[in-house]
Amino acid sequence: MAGGIDMEPEQKQLLHLVFGGELSSLEGITFKDLAKVDIVGVFPNYASAHTAWKAKAQATVDQAQTRYFIVHLHRLLDPEPAKS
């Protein structure tokens, strides 16, 4: 403890983005109107992102063409080296 502050090891953030909206059709992942895409938020871990995704998915269950997604931002920001 230095200066009254606990010096805990910094945990690596595993950022996840939750977003969704109405799709043009059920056959693909093309949004009907990009201006209306719902950006739910960026979350520090998968568990909190999944909770937000589930709430949005359940709230729109009666809208068949509305889908929500979780994107693993941490994989895009810091990709693992290719494994041989």
Check residue 45 and give its pLDDT. 96
Check residue 36 and give its pLDDT. 96
What CATH code is assigned to 16-72?
A: 3.30.70.2400
Domain parsing of the chain, residue ranges: 16-72
DSSP the chain: -BTTB--PPPPPP--EEEEEEEBS-TTS--BS-GGG-EEEEEESSHHHHHHHHHHHHHHTTT-TTEEEEEEEHHHHHSPPPPP-
Compute the distance between CA of residue 60 and CA of residue 36 in angstroms, rounded to an integer.
14
The residues of the chain scoring below 70 in pLDDT are 1-10, 81-84
The reported pTM is: 0.78
